[in-house]
Structure 1
Amino acid sequence: MLEITYWELLIVISIVWVIMRVLIGIKNKKIFFFREAQMMMVYICIIVIARIVNFPWHHVNGQIGTMKFDASRIIPPWVNLVPIVHLFDIYDGWQMNIIGNITMFIPVGIVWPVCFKKLNTIGKAILAGAGFSLFIEISQLLFYERCSDIDDILLNTAGVAVGALIFFGCKKLRARKRE
């Protein structure tokens, strides 16, 4: 069994991030400070979401719990493909699950259109956020204590939609003010 701590995952994400940003800087033959500051917002979204979705909230011996990988325990995967069936199951924290999954992705709907010019419509921003959420749910299949759930994708996408509506609404208001 392999256990991965949040700090180990953070280091891996950070190393990959720095390598990508350096390669992009080399390709562009220049590093733009303002662009890197914008992209830092994307990085922060990724590491915060990685913490929230991959590690237990409760601490173990005063530490953030670990992700556990054991190839012999990932089959059969723990997956819910039926939307909404378990969404309102009464268990401790079900409301926090709904609210948390939505609010956690609101920044993605705001930050990604700022940083990625091709996400120039609400639909494109929502689709990109849904893809990110799908990636997270698929990656959770490797860790036997995690559950991949269609409801999480739906709620996360709703959060991206709220963020995108805020971003594009503010953008539209700003354009009207200029006129």
Structure 2
Amino acid sequence: MRVIPYVYIAAVYTAIYLLVRAAVSIRNKRIDWKRERLHILMYINLLVIIYFTFSPLLLDPDAVFNCRINLIPFVYLLDYENEAHMIFNVFGNILMFVPTGIILPVLYKRLDNCFKVVGTGFLMSLAIEILQLPFADRTSDVDDLIMNTLGVAIGYVLYMIVHYARNLGKQKASLSGGSRA
């Protein structure tokens, strides 16, 4: 069995990310730094998700596609060795995807409602669960899919609260500014 350190995986992804961002910047002939910061935040978010879902990455040729799949919701939550580990797993899976629910609607204007943002988060989580199938030490778990999607939904609600508060503040400012004439 071989372990591939996360640093190597992150280095490869970072190189690919930088090449793609450089190509996009060259094609656009200008750099929108606000948008670029959002891309970097999303990239960091994805690195964190990859770290917690795939690290350490164990490669065992004898166990490839020795799939462990849980399709029954919440059946394994009570099987944890201790309550603290279960709580860490549940809240970790939720919190890990909260930034996704915040960043996606800011970064991509087409993701302009809850269904689209949460659906995208669901598909991201589903992709992770499918990608875990060939690895010997990973389990594809519907609980993770549910909790990750819940995290995206919570993130989207937080985004909407901030978005609504900012718009309300702008409306109040324009109303109070207009009455001074």
Same fold (TM over 0.5): yes
1:69-80 matches, within 5 Å, as 69-80=59-70
Alignment of 1:13 with 2:13, yes or no, is yes
Structure number with larger C-alpha Rg: 2
SS at match of 1:76: coil
Give the length in aligned residue pairs.
169
Q: What is the rounded CA distance, in whole Å, between the counterparts of 2:78 and 2:113 in structure 1?
A: 32
Amino acid at match of 1:3: V
Aligned-residue CA RMSD (Å): 1.5
The yes-or-no answer on 1:139 pairing with 2:131 is yes
What residue is the counterpart of 1:58 in the other structure? none
Counterpart contact for 1:69–1:142, Cα < 8 Å: no
Deviations 1:38-74 (A, max 9, x none): 111001101111111212xxxxxxxxxx311233312
Cα distance, 1:27 vs. partner?
2.8
Alignment of 1:164 with 2:153, yes or no, is no
Show structure 2 runs of 5+ residues with no match: 172-181
User: Is the CA contact 2:65–2:134 (under 8 Å) kept in the aligned structure 1?
Assistant: no
- For structure 1, the 5+ residue unaligned runs are 56-65
Residue 102 (1) aligns with residue 90 (2): no
Q: Match of 1:86?
A: 76
Per-residue CA deviation, residues 111-145 of structure 1 (Å, 9 max, x unaligned), is: 12111211111221111111111111111112110
| Local SS of the residue matching 1:142 | coil
**Which one-letter code corresponds to 1:82 in the other structure?**
I
Q: Deviations over 1:137-161 (max 9, x none)?
A: 1111121101110110100000110
- Give, in whole Å, the separation in 2 of the partners of 1:29 and 1:177: 35
CA distance in 2, matches of 1:26, 1:89: 52
Task: Name the CA distance, whole Å, in 2 between partners of 1:30 and 1:142.
Answer: 41
Contact 1:68 1:143 in 2 (8 A): yes
2:38 corresponds to which letter in structure 1? Q
The secondary structure found in structure 1 opposite 2:132 is helix
Matches within 5 A, 1:21-100: 21-55=21-55, 66-92=56-82, 93-100=85-92
Which protein is richer in helix relative to its size?
A: 2
Conservation of the 8 A alpha-carbon contact between 2:97 and 2:155:
yes
Task: Measure the CA separation in 2 of the matches of 1:142 and 1:30.
Answer: 41
Q: Select between 19-28 and 153-162 the one with higher mean Cα deviation.
A: 19-28
Tell me: CA distance 1:91–1:106, structure 2 relative to 1, closer, same or farther (3 Å).
same
Corresponding residue for 2:175? none
> What TM-score results when the alignment is normalised by the length of structure 1?
0.87
Contact in 2 for aligned 1:122/1:168 (Cα 8 Å):
no
- In the alignment, what sits opposite 1:148? 140
Rounded Cα–Cα distance in structure 1 between residues aligned with 2:110 and 2:32 = 19
In the TM superposition, structure 1's runs of 4+ consecutive aligned residues that sit over 4 Å from their partners are none
